[in-house]
């Protein structure tokens, strides 16, 4: 019989890992979220939480991306995906804007950069870096809980005058939980009240040991306002990316993750998708969450219509049947029938989950057992 970790089961049930641990504890089975439980226990737990156990045949309908591994010889280098996080007002947006200002392409063309929640910067050396606009921390953990680990590197922005604040610490915890390397950008060093060294010291308390303190976390002093340290930051991102040896197979059916989606008045449902692997092309048939569609048009972060988008490219996709959710997976499939089949199956699963009367609270669920 198969074993599964508590966290993995929680993810599949869209429940909190901690709630499963609690339930298991009450069942006389004290485990942590990272430990595995056997199939019988898992099935019992699933029923206790009021979910349905997937029939084996269901796995024939779902797209199994996890076991669809690309052969090593198909892999090619891809751009790093970098997310900027930090406390409110510490300068995340300013830093993003400043970094975008270093983009040689938009610098040259003077082009208007459209906001699509993600954009790419071409460095002086010609390397591409994909930046994601700071998602709310909830959105970040939600995506992570759903297995959408799309970020390769996190830039933690800490204002040198303000120091470590609650959301800084939250961001540290999220980053650690995601197992993603961090680069600390100590911002606002232009201010008289700036105290970068104090930031480094406070970081120690949260087990973030920067290079200057004998650790291996890269840190860089920047000023988004005065454009200080930006090249240094880019260099550190590229260095970190090199260590990660990021690759993807561009020559396959595309898969991506929805970063954000909305219903646009003129254009209908629009999703910003970060392509993970493969190349997404106009005309491709896809399923995304419980929606399906055919790529009618694609728009890049520079507002240009494009015909194809490879790994690590953020792109606006038009031609969806409805608005998917952030974190939903997009997969290109062979035909419309297949797309509709998977979408319908997912919609059905979602309805089942909503209509299955879940016990109202934990106590009532287990009072019968004790």
Helices within the chain (DSSP H only): 6-13, 17-26, 39-48, 58-61, 92-101, 104-109, 137-145, 166-178, 196-204, 230-244, 336-355, 362-367
**Residue range at the interface with Mg ion (CB under 5 A); choices 90-98, 100-108, 178-186, 314-322:** 90-98
From residue 274, give the alpha-carbon distance in Å to each of 39, 257, 277, 362.
34, 5, 9, 38
- φ, ψ for residue 20 (rounded to 5)? -65, -40
Shortest distance in whole angstroms from residue 138 CB to Mg ion: 16
Whether residue 86 is annotated as binding a ligand: the answer is yes
Shortest distance in whole angstroms from residue 355 CB to ligand GTP: 38
> Per the structure block, which two tokens stand in for 22?
């609690």
Rule CB under 5 A: is residue 94 a binding residue for Mg ion? Answer: no
90 binds, among Mg ion, ligand GTP, none (CB under 5 to 8 A by kind): ligand GTP
**Residue with smaller CB distance to Mg ion, 89 or 242:** 89
Whether residue 115 is annotated as binding a ligand: the answer is no
In whole angstroms, give the CA distance from residue 350 to residue 206: 39
Shortest distance in whole angstroms from residue 200 CB to Mg ion: 24
Whether residue 50 is annotated as binding a ligand: the answer is no
Shortest distance in whole angstroms from residue 105 CB to ligand GTP: 23
> Per the structure block, which two tokens stand in for 233?
């930051």
Shortest distance in whole angstroms from residue 88 CB to Mg ion: 8
Whether residue 179 is annotated as binding a ligand: the answer is no
From residue 270, give the alpha-carbon distance in Å to each of 115, 297, 316, 344.
13, 10, 7, 20
Whether residue 122 is annotated as binding a ligand: the answer is no
Rule CB under 5 A: is residue 93 a binding residue for Mg ion? Answer: yes
> Per the structure block, which two tokens stand in for 191?
């201010």
Judged on CB neighbours under 10 Å (0-12, 13-18, 19+), 200 is: buried
In whole angstroms, give the CA distance from residue 259 to residue 71: 27
- Of all residues in this chain, which one has the CB nearest to Mg ion in the complex? 93
**Residue with smaller CB distance to ligand GTP, 223 or 331:** 223
Whether residue 92 is annotated as binding a ligand: the answer is yes
Residue ranges binding ligand GTP (CB under 6 A): 86, 88-94, 187-188, 190-191, 223-225
Per the document, the length of the chain is 370
Whether residue 289 is annotated as binding a ligand: the answer is no
Q: Which residues contact 227 (CB under 8 A, 6 or more apart)?
A: 98, 101
Rule CB under 5 A: is residue 167 a binding residue for Mg ion? Answer: no
Whether residue 64 is annotated as binding a ligand: the answer is no
Taking each helix axis from N to C end, the angle separating 17-26 and 39-48, rounded to the nearest 10 degrees, works out to 100
188 binds, among ligand GTP, Mg ion, none (CB under 5 to 8 A by kind): ligand GTP
**Residue with smaller CB distance to ligand GTP, 87 or 277:** 87
Shortest distance in whole angstroms from residue 348 CB to Mg ion: 39
**Residue with smaller CB distance to Mg ion, 36 or 93:** 93
- Using CB under 5 A as the criterion, which residues of the chain lie in contact with Mg ion when the complex forms? 92-93
Positions at the binding site for GTP: 86-93, 133-137, 187-190
């Amino acid at each position: 019989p198969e074993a599964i970790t508590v966290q993995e089961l929680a993810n599949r049930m869209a429940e909190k890992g901690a709630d499963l641990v609690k339930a298991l504890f009450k069942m006389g089975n004290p485990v942590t979220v990272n430990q595995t439980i056997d199939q019988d226990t898992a099935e019992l737990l699933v029923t206790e939480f009021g979910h349905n156990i997937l029939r084996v045949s269901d796995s024939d309908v779902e797209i199994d991306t996890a076991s669809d591994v690309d052969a090593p010889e198909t892999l090619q280098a891809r751009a790093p995906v970098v997310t900027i996080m930090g406390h409110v007002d510490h300068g995340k947006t300013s830093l993003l804007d400043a970094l975008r200002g270093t983009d040689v392409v938009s610098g040259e063309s003077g082009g208007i950069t459209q906001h699509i929640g993600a954009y790419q910067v071409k460095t002086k050396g010609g390397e591409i870096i994909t930046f994601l606009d700071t998602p709310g921390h909830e959105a970040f953990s939600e995506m992570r809980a759903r297995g959408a680990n799309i970020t390769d590197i996190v830039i933690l922005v800490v204002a040198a005058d303000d120091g470590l604040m609650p959301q800084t610490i939250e961001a540290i915890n999220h980053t650690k939980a995601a197992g993603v390397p961090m680069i600390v950008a100590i911002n606002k060093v232009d201010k008289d009240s700036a105290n970068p060294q104090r930031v480094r010291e406070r970081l120690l308390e949260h087990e973030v040991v920067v290079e200057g303190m004998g650790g291996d976390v890269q840190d860089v002093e920047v000023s988004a306002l005065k454009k200080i340290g930006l090249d240094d930051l880019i260099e550190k991102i590229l260095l970190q990316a090199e260590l990660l040896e990021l690759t993807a197979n561009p020559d396959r059916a595309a898969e991506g993750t929805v970063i954000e989606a909305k219903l646009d008045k003129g254009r209908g449902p629009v999703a910003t998708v970060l392509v993970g692997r493969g190349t997404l092309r106009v005309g491709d048939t896809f399923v995304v969450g419980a929606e399906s569609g055919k790529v009618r048009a694609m728009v890049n972060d520079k507002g240009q219509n494009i015909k194809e988008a490879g790994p690590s490219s953020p792109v606006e996709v038009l031609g969806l049947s409805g608005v998917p959710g952030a974190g939903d997976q997009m997969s290109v499939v062979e035909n419309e029938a297949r797309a509709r089949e998977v979408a319908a199956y997912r919609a059905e699963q979602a309805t089942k989950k909503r209509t299955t009367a879940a016990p109202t609270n934990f106590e009532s669920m287990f009072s019968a057992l004790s």
